[in-house]
Chain A
Amino acid sequence: MDYFPLLPEIMLIAMSLVFFAATLAKPGQALLERAAFVLALCTLAATWATYDQSGLFFYKAYRIDAFSQTFKILIALGLVLILWMGAGLRGINSWFRPEYYMFLALSCLGLFLMTSAVELLTIVISIEISSYALFVLIPLRRQPFQRDPLEASIKYFFLGAAATGITLYGMSYLFGLAHSTYLEDISVVLPGFLATQPLAVIGIVMLLCGLFYKLALFPLHFWMPDVFVGAAHETTCFVATLPKIAAMALIVRIVAMAGPGSHQIELILMIMAVLSMFVGNLSALGQQDIKRLLAYSSIAHAGYMMVGIVSMNQLGIASAVYYIYGYLLMNIACFAVIYNLAPQGENITVDGLRGLYRRSPLLAAVLAAGAIGLSGIPPTIGFTGKFMIFAAAFQKSFYWLVGLAVLNVCISAFYYLRLVRAAYSSVEEPGERISLTIPAAVLGVMIMAGIVLAGVFPQNFFRLTLKAVMSVL
């Protein structure tokens, strides 16, 4: 059997083993950091090299195709950018830095498995691998902030356990109906059951619950604000972006399996999307802590992505994938600013941003690019992504859904622009200048360029996502 298509996974396993050895030997921080960055780059290269591979592995439970490989590229890219952004790991307890890298690699491995899993039990195990690593990552914050991370981790853990329980229960329904745990076999009989058996609808929705938890969609979003506030900035940036990418891959696979004709599932997903947008945006309006604000905005963004998936056509899902790429970039922009503003790893309030444009013009510009992108103002990737998602929903004549989504975009503009206004408002004493390291400055410029260029010239990337989506729909 040819194992070459599994190269990215093997790379990540190697990375976690290397850092396991590092936990025993305790090398210096500079060496660790370089090793982590190089290994993450190798993983990215491996995903790129296996892009046009395909095949079924491990008794047909694991599927490599253009769809999974596109998502793996996104996740590996996110890992590289997050490691780059969190250079120095200033927010992490210095005892646990090798462990931190090891669990990052393991969590990424779980996310990789999620994008390729096409069998129910494999899906559960992959979700658990990525979640368990995160439960351990969250409390590893540095000394003066030890209580909140523990609370956040426990909340994350218990809600995760509940979500997995619901997922397994839904799977038992599907297994009872289809007598198989392979998505391929289930998809043959499922459309018939969806038309006649309410049990199938309940089963699918319960199965999706575990993924809604990862995506932080409305009924399972409670963990998000606490985890954001509790975890260190580097960890938060990881939790905010990468699990969502993998969760979306699986949601698309499962929704594609259910068949694009099921009106009940469509309706349920739409209601969740709308509630998620409203809960997220309205709660974000009153927040002072920037990370809490970004957490609620993240819940709202899960709603926008769901609008794209609910369309269940190629344009909708391809634009949702495109949008999640933009979401990754915009979030890293915001977290890069927070990370560089807080040398001790403390949380920042909106007022703490005042006079940022005088303390560091570059950081202010990066924050503006991120916030304007998240609020969906042209010429950023946030605008193009939202536009295409809403266009896809419009094609399917979900007029009220698009109307409510646009209303939400307007609400969200208020709090995103509040960040920009705070960063550019003049104050008497702006505080001392922030000196950025050269890699941090390069990252800031790159992310800004990425947000704008990918928004103005979406076609190349969009072609990639469309090709990926065509292999599942």
Chain B
Amino acid sequence: MNDKILIDYMYIGLFFLCGIAAAGAPILISLLVRPRTKISQRTLQTYECGNIPFGQSWDFRHGIGFYLYALMFLAFEVDVLYLYPVATVFHKVPAFRAVGLFVVFLGILALGLIYAWRKGVFLWTSEKKIY
């Protein structure tokens, strides 16, 4: 009995390490491959985009194109919601079948992403050729 609990905790520890690795790897990789920049006053601004900020936020109209990003984000946000019930019944079906269904579900969602990508939703407005 005790052994089983111990093994379970080892699993948790393993997943904990995997989680840290998954979160840390992008930071580490980008640290290694990014070009070096000089850190100046301007770099440390709250919102740093290369230009000196001017005016107030309510002086501007934001591009309506942003709602497409918002939609894409929402699609994947909601899919996390649907993944939770999958996780709760995961142990009741054979693993291969569960993963297969999982991949089908995510694959269909990914089709929407591929479509948006191909239609240039992720390009800047001036570069958009097709819509």
A residues whose Cβ falls under 8 Å from a Cβ of B: 20, 23-24, 95
Nearest-CB distance from B8 to chain A (Å)?
Answer: 33
A20 to B109, CA, bound (A): 13
Q: Are A24 and B118 in contact (CB under 8 A)?
A: yes
Report chain B residues within 8 Å CB of A95. Answer: 130-131
Nearest-CB distance from A35 to chain B (Å)?
Answer: 18
A24 to B131, CA, bound (A): 12
**Known A20-B115, A23-B118, A95-B131; further 6 A-B contacts with Cβ < 8 A:** A20-B111, A23-B115, A24-B114, A24-B115, A24-B118, A95-B130
Interface SS of A by simple majority: helix
Nearest-CB distance from A31 to chain B (Å)?
Answer: 19
A20 to B108, CA, bound (A): 11
Nearest-CB distance from A284 to chain B (Å)?
Answer: 39
| Residue contacts A-B, CB under 8 angstroms, 9 given | A20-B111, A20-B115, A23-B115, A23-B118, A24-B114, A24-B115, A24-B118, A95-B130, A95-B131
A23 to B115, CA, bound (A): 8
A95 to B130, CA, bound (A): 9
Say which size band chain B's interface belongs to: under 10
Nearest-CB distance from B37 to chain A (Å)?
Answer: 37
Nearest B-chain residue to A17, judged by Cβ: B111
Which residues in window 93-123 of B have CB below 8 A to A? 111, 114-115, 118
Closest 6 CB pairs of A and B: A24-B118, A20-B111, A23-B115, A24-B114, A24-B115, A20-B115
Interface SS of B by simple majority: helix
Report chain A residues within 8 Å CB of B114. Answer: 24
Report chain B residues within 8 Å CB of A23. Answer: 115, 118
A141 to B44, CA, bound (A): 49
A23 to B130, CA, bound (A): 12
A95 to B115, CA, bound (A): 14
A20 to B111, CA, bound (A): 8
Nearest B-chain residue to A20, judged by Cβ: B111
Nearest-CB distance from B67 to chain A (Å)?
Answer: 16
Report chain A residues within 8 Å CB of B131. Answer: 95
Mask, B53-93, CB within 8 Å of A = 1, is 00000000000000000000000000000000000000000
A24 to B119, CA, bound (A): 8
Nearest A-chain residue to B119, judged by Cβ: A23
Nearest B-chain residue to A26, judged by Cβ: B130
A20 to B112, CA, bound (A): 10
Report chain B residues within 8 Å CB of A20. Answer: 111, 115
A92 to B119, CA, bound (A): 18
Nearest-CB distance from A27 to chain B (Å)?
Answer: 14
A24 to B111, CA, bound (A): 10
A91 to B50, CA, bound (A): 46
Report chain B residues within 8 Å CB of A24. Answer: 114-115, 118
Nearest-CB distance from B131 to chain A (Å)?
Answer: 8
